Structure 1
């Protein structure tokens, strides 16, 4: 039995993506996530939990588990610190680590930086939901919030729709100004727009902001195309929401994880009869929801550990295909399992 742990650092993850290509990596995560969501027996995903923390109570540290019985368990620890990019630290808003454990032995199988994977799996989830709920011919994408998450939202959606133009709006003008350079690899027309133009012109809209608790909404309440589909990505705390309540009540609202979304997503303001099916149900019976492509739909994306589990699956497979990564003996494995002082070499 191999007792080494596969370690994938930021550098390893970057090399794997470079070797296999961004598009191939994103497309594989999208397709695998769709299959996993459509499988009713795939695994168990409790709602995430965590601590509110400094500075000013605006940040959180959370843990997100996913368990496949008789298979494995994936655990992500992730921090959300909205002040990071503009503080002296100059760090990403979201930082995290993924770990994979064998279900039979409980041993640590893999540990991985979760920065890129979190962004990719969030974009992939929006692509899965949009592919089911938005018009297939959607060509104009609107992005409210032009940070790191917006990059992978645009990338993922461009892999499943014939996107021709991206309209960008951000409360921080420099983020909107730099967005075209950050998604230059997509070779798409990107331009800044005010909210009114973005709302009226977009077939698909993604909101991915760091709006504070109680400070939303970040989107207008009217002026949309009748068939607009919205991926609401930013709500991840109690009291933090991005969409107007009147908009939610006019739309089919599909959460990724029902319990989690009702606690801290857009669904926290809705009654039970105002919430539509969970995304897994739409994936399992897509034909039932095809007619909604002609009306307003919302994907309430709080992000949950199934997505991280699938993304880590894909990364481990690509690490094996490319030969990238390190294997280290991290865990304490004594020569005599009954003697913790019997060190193995």
Structure 2
């Protein structure tokens, strides 16, 4: 039995052949279906992620994120958040690997890089939440933080809103200077502006920063539009938050995973009573979101493994369509399941160590 491996070249060929828009649309549409199923008790089991806090290369973490589809499969993503990577190691801030296991036998079915997958599914989740909660006439998008995640945040939104202007801000001048070129494929008017100007003009605001623990918020609650919708995706550690508490206290708050949001998302500033809805419930009953589209709303997005599971499904399906992926015998399956060591071949010899 073999394992399918999607390497970096496979991921690049999938996106290059199918197209960025088609991949984003497929993940967004499939995520909406999966979230509706979750609300109806049919979406499988997604425990809160767990992991280690790491002090090396800037305070970060290494986490594991499981999703269980009973009787079918288990998807497990390991993901590392290392804020010092771009400057010190020329690597993305977020690195990850996604594994798919057969739930009946436990064997490893597929393995893929998780960097692009994570960025796409996070952008897709914000697109789903924004379509539900943002004002339907939203046309100005603001971005605080212009790293890799900001690209797919804007891409996802561009697929569900008619965007007329994009205002961006980042404390790293190199990141913000290169952002317009990185999103040139979207054909949008992208302008660099101070944080206060970005927040004041935005109908939809995305915060995707590497703010340090205890250093937030990344903008002030002043002069924002009454109907502002915020996709807050940067909080992923206890004590790390991006949004001002005053804004959270008056906003309608939606989470993708409540337990995670209370532990390491924006909701850690408030508590469980502040959570207005789970994203899955709004997907199943959009009418519940309707009254909140003209007021301040926040999608507290900590990211959870159902999203990775859906994105992995899409990538594997596209790889099959295109004939991509490498099959390897990564697991040892002896003819006799009780035999640990492979049989000796001609010419092999045992080397013993005699005491004394």
Fold conserved (TM > 0.5)? yes
The separation in 2 between residues aligned to 1:54 and 1:343, in whole angstroms, is 45
Does the 8 Å contact 2:57/2:85 carry over to 1? no
* Correspondences of 1:78-93 after superposition (within 5 Å): 78-87=79-88, 89-93=89-93
Q: Which residue of 2 aligns with 1:70?
A: 71
* Correspondences of 1:255-274 after superposition (within 5 Å): 255-274=255-274
Does the 8 Å contact 2:226/2:296 carry over to 1? yes
Q: Which residue of 2 aligns with 1:293?
A: 293
* Correspondences of 1:144-163 after superposition (within 5 Å): 144-163=144-163
The separation in 2 between residues aligned to 1:177 and 1:145, in whole angstroms, is 12
Q: Which residue of 1 aligns with 2:353?
A: none
The 1:343–1:167 alpha-carbon spacing in structure 2 relative to 1, beyond 3 Å, is: farther
Q: Which residue of 1 aligns with 2:56?
A: 55
Alpha-carbon distance, 1:343 to partner: 6.0
The 1:187–1:57 alpha-carbon spacing in structure 2 relative to 1, beyond 3 Å, is: closer
| CA RMSD after TM alignment | 1.3
Q: Which residue of 1 aligns with 2:227?
A: 227
The separation in 2 between residues aligned to 1:314 and 1:274, in whole angstroms, is 34
The 1:343–1:255 alpha-carbon spacing in structure 2 relative to 1, beyond 3 Å, is: farther
Q: Which residue of 2 aligns with 1:283?
A: 283
1:9 matches 2:10: no
Q: Secondary structure at the match of 2:239?
A: coil
The separation in 2 between residues aligned to 1:225 and 1:65, in whole angstroms, is 38
Q: Which residue of 2 aligns with 1:113?
A: 113
Does the 8 Å contact 1:335/1:343 carry over to 2? no
Structure 1 length normalisation: TM-score? 0.97
The separation in 1 between residues aligned to 2:315 and 2:153, in whole angstroms, is 19
Q: Which residue of 1 aligns with 2:104?
A: 104
Question: Gaps spanning 5+ residues in structure 2: where?
Answer: 346-356
The separation in 2 between residues aligned to 1:155 and 1:122, in whole angstroms, is 11
The 1:52–1:131 alpha-carbon spacing in structure 2 relative to 1, beyond 3 Å, is: same
Q: Which segments of structure 1 move beyond 3 Å, counting only runs of 4 or more?
A: 342-345
Q: Secondary structure at the match of 2:156?
A: helix
* Correspondences of 1:327-342 after superposition (within 5 Å): 327-342=327-342
Structure 2 length normalisation: TM-score? 0.94
Q: Secondary structure at the match of 1:174?
A: helix
